[in-house]
Amino acid sequence: MTEPGNAVAEAGGTPPHTTTAPADARPPRPGKARGGWWGGDASEPVRRNLGLVGVLVLLYLIGVFSRPDIFASGARLWSNELTVLTQAASIGVITIGMTFVMISGGIDLSVGALLALASVWSTTVATQSYGPGVMIFTALAVGTVAGAVNGILIAYGRMVPFIATMALMVAARGLSQKISGKLTQISKVDTINKIAETKVLGIPLLVIIFGAVAAAGWILLNRTTFGRRTVAIGGNPEAARLAGINLRRHQVLLYALSGLCCGIAAIMVTSLSNAGSSDHGNLYELQAIAAAIIGGTSLAGGRGTIVGSVLGVLVFTQITNLFIVNNLQLEFQLIAQGAIIVGAVLIQQFRVAALRRPAPPGA
């Protein structure tokens, strides 16, 4: 028989009596024409994230003004910013996973607890005795499996993501306390502890891992079918389902991905603090959500960028750094962070409104 699908263009291309719509009835063009090297898919996030770059520049200027000895001196600035990036690495990796989940219209409240669980599970006396390879495998496996449990509860148990991941947030903390006996599990494995001290070409290894995860996340989101499915599900789950996308399987994969990020971050935190602890990753869920949100990720799903999330994390980490180098106390820092969240979201709402405004009128 014939292949009707292949005939698309030919079939539709010359319909017998095509009625052409009046030429002047075409919907209007948006205010600015697209184009240039930044055109296409990349333009949107870049423009959206310019605001955050501006905030970072502003923070840098505050640094220059308040601590010129650090921010205006090449060597100390380099050292300070590498510290900022190192301290941003673990929450940054978590935020990448969170960004995927949020773009799909979900949320993962369990990230901090999964980090703790992975760090504790991978630093027990027994695990440590198997050496660094097994420790790393354990952290990644525990994170991924626990994340998949989230996904299964949501996709097949039809639980609301908020509730399913909240349950895991509580349960995973409990389990990690049970395993650790509420003790700090000091890492005696040098290879693990050395990860945080290693530098490659002057760049800390943790920063390189963070960069690699972010780059992989960017590619995954913008250049793969996985990313496309994620955006489609978040933008309109019903449309995605009716287009034949397997919604449930994808949800499981998404939360497993977030769990994997928790496992990676767990290794980072274990290495940084030379210990596994059920206290690790405290409030990471809120920090990651906040960073993703100021990076332009929508809580309603369908919208978000990796670059924005990375910038969001850097803004928060840089603020912490600025407050400490200026010997200011924590409470001001919390106020500043709250103000930035509100400011960033307000700006984005105006921008989104501006983006949608040129919709054609007409009935």
For residues 14-53, which are near another protein according to CB under 8 A?
Answer: 15-22, 24-31, 34, 40-41
Q: How far apart are CA 100 and CA 193, in angstroms?
A: 30
353 lines the binding site for another protein (CB under 8 A): no
Residue 340 CA to its chain's centroid (Å): 18
Nearest CA among 255, 304, 43, 76 for reference residue 150:
255
Considering only 65, 72, 76, 170, the residue that binds another protein (CB under 8 A) is 76
Q: How far apart are CA 114 and CA 170, in angstroms?
A: 10
Structure tokens at 51: 């605001």
Q: Which stretch binds another protein (CB under 8 A): 93-101, 232-240, 289-297, 337-345?
A: 232-240
286 lines the binding site for another protein (CB under 8 A): no
Considering only 269, 288, 294, 313, the residue that binds another protein (CB under 8 A) is 269
203 lines the binding site for another protein (CB under 8 A): no
**Sign of the Cα pseudo-torsion (56, 59, 61, 63, in order):** negative
263 lines the binding site for another protein (CB under 8 A): no
Nearest CA among 123, 67, 119, 61 for reference residue 90:
119
182 lines the binding site for another protein (CB under 8 A): yes
Q: Which stretch binds another protein (CB under 8 A): 2-10, 98-106, 163-171, 343-351?
A: 2-10
Using an 8 Å Cβ cutoff, are 267 and 192 in contact?
A: yes
CB atoms under 10 Å from CB of 94, counted, come to 33
Considering only 46, 241, 299, 347, the residue that binds another protein (CB under 8 A) is 241
Q: Which is nearer to another protein, 34 or 47 (CB)?
A: 34
Residue 276 bridge partners (DSSP): 185
Task: Please state the length of the chain.
Answer: 363
Q: Which stretch binds another protein (CB under 8 A): 50-58, 81-89, 149-157, 339-347?
A: 81-89
287 lines the binding site for another protein (CB under 8 A): no
Considering only 55, 240, 253, 306, the residue that binds another protein (CB under 8 A) is 240
Question: Binding residues for another protein, how many (CB under 8 A)?
Answer: 114
Residue 281 CB, nearest approach to another protein (Å): 7
Question: Which residues, including other chains, have CB under 8 Å from residue 189's CB and lie 6 or more apart?
Answer: 128, 131, 132, 135
169 lines the binding site for another protein (CB under 8 A): no
Residue 17 CB, nearest approach to another protein (Å): 7
Q: Which is nearer to another protein, 49 or 122 (CB)?
A: 122
Residue 228 CB, nearest approach to another protein (Å): 5
334 lines the binding site for another protein (CB under 8 A): no
With b for 16 or more beta-carbon neighbours within 10 A and e for fewer, the 63-79 pattern comes to: beeebeebbeeeeebee
